[in-house]
Every structure is written in C-alpha cells, then in structure tokens.
Amino acid sequence: MGRLRHKNLVQLLGYCRRKGELLLVYEYMPNGSLDDYLFIKDNLKNLTWSQRLNIIKGVASALLYLHEDWEQVVLHRDIKASNILLDADLNGRLGDFGLARFHDRGVNLEATHVVGTIGYMTPELTAMGVATTKTDVYAFGAFILEVVCGRRPIVPDGPRDQVILVKWVASCGRRDALTTTVDSKLKDFNAEEAKLLLKLGMLCSQSNSENRPNMIQIYQYLEGNVSVPGISFDTTGFGMPNISHETVTQLITASSSANFSYEDVTILFGGR
C-alpha cells in the first residue's frame, strides 16, 4: 500500500507501534470526509457543482490507476463518500484500504469473504463472493449517484420501507425527469453534465456485470472523449443485494460499533 502513488489517493506514509497498538500514518487531509459535506445537516459548507464534478473525476482517475496502471490489480472493495477525503483544495482522495485486495494480472480470482457496504455491493458479489474490478465499478456508480443526488444508496422510508437510490433515479429517468434528482442544495448546476453523470452512474449500476463499463471507458466518458451510450431506465436492470430491512436491522443490532447506522452498514464476514 505504501508504494501506491497517485494524486487522488490518500498517501500511506508509514506505521508505528504505540503501547501495543499498530497505527497507520497517512498524510493529513484538512477538509475531512466528503460524507460530512454531503450529509451533515448542520455543516454550513456546501460543495459547488464544479467541485463535485472534480471530485468524481479525481476518484475515477484513482480507480483507473488501481485497476489498470499499477503493477498489480488493486480492488478497493469499499468505495463510498465516507472513504473519500478532501485535501486543502477540496480535491477528492480515495482512502481506507482496509478491505483492499491485490492480485496479479491474468489470475483466476477465487471466492473470498463477502465484505463491503450495503448499497454499494453487487448482486454477484453477495451471491458468489468473488470481487472483481466490475464490483468496484458498481460501487463507483453508487458513489456518483450519491454525490450528484446528495442521497445515500439506501434511505429509510418509514419503519419498514426503504428507498433505493438507483431505482428512484431510474424511475425519474423513465419520466424524462433525470435532473429532478440533483441535490436540492445545488441552486446552480450544469444540466447536461448532471445528465451525463446520472446516466454514467446508472450504467455502472447495472445488474449484469458484463454490461458495466471498465474504468478506462468511464474516464473517457467523464473527459468527454466518448459519448455515454444510451441506457434503458427499466428498474429491473439495476440490481443490488437482496438484503431486507430486517437483515439490516439485525446487522446493526449485532454490531458492537456505535458508528454503524442504517445508511452505512459495512458487512464483514470472516474478518479483514
């Protein structure tokens, strides 16, 4: 991890031992987590449209490096707003590699422990336990929608119901009302850029992994070098793990961590 070098990754500087504890030392990110800017209600700071677009492009560049440009393939396996830190200039830096997996190129991947966060996990990951670059792409799609819409992938709607962000965006897309999903805190945004990002987020969130783009294609779409292909907004084409409200509640109850919430539950079966 210490050998990874990219301007949009939080750099691991080293580690130290203190009173029996091993501590990882990262470069300091003065603006904290992107999650704080998007979801803390009393946060007076609000990211502009251009800042959000820049953050999405930065994280895409980091994932392109991890998937395609480093000597090994690096699967992050937990891409979400709370794992994106902001530097002094509000550039997005992908951090928290606690669930990351490194493997040589061309090897056949084997099933592993199912890890990740509800709402960002692909159907095939929960069914087969095999993480690939396409599982990262799926999470990146959820992340795009999260940043553009200012909503988490799963939002409680009453005591027993939930709103799934990708399906809500799809339903708005069917009515040709995509831009109505843009975060209401954004009073000024580029409608064409918003449509591009929303379509790209949906393209990455397709149930069939073969239909998802890779990070090379995603970066080309974001840079405007290639047009985003047409997409059907039939909600059956966009999948997420079949995890019930009751299961989520049980996971939260069983966890001893006070930091877990309905919106952000990390599943970790079998240890890191």
**Residue-wise pLDDT tens digits, 136-188:** 999 999 999 999 999 999 877 766 677 889 999 999 999 999 999 999 999 89
Quote the pLDDT of residue 123.
Answer: 78
Q: Distances in Å between the alpha carbon of 8 and those of 54, 59, 63, 96?
A: 11, 6, 9, 13
* 34: Cβ contacts below 8 Å, ≥ 6 apart: 55, 81, 82, 84, 85, 86, 92, 147
14 pLDDT higher than 80: yes
Q: Show the domains of the chain with their CATH numbers.
A: 31-268 (1.10.510.10)
Higher pLDDT, 205 or 248: 205
- Buried (b) or exposed (e) across 173-208, using 16+ Cβ within 10 A? beeeebeebbbeebeebeeebbbbbbbbbbbbbbbe
Between CA 39 and CA 118 the distance in angstroms is: 17
**pLDDT, position 160:** 65
The encoded tokens of residue 229 equal 């292909």
Using alpha carbons, select from 167, 168, 164, 146 the residue that is nearest to residue 155. Answer: 164
Catalytic-residue membership of 89: no
- Residue 269 or 71, more confident: 71
Residue 118 confidence (pLDDT): 79
Using one digit for the tens of pLDDT, what is the confidence trace for 65-124?
999 999 999 999 999 999 999 999 999 999 988 888 888 877 766 656 667 777 888 877
0.95 exceeded by the pTM? no
Q: What single DSSP character describes residue 68?
A: I
pLDDT confidence bin for 50, thresholds 50/70/90: very high
Q: What is the pLDDT of residues 191-244, one digit of tens each?
A: 999 999 999 999 999 988 899 999 999 999 999 999 999 888 876 667 554 444
Query: Which pLDDT belongs to residue 2?
Result: 86
Per the residue annotation, which of 78, 96, 136, 183 is the catalytic one?
Answer: 78
Give the span between the Cα atoms of 105 and 107, in whole angstroms: 6
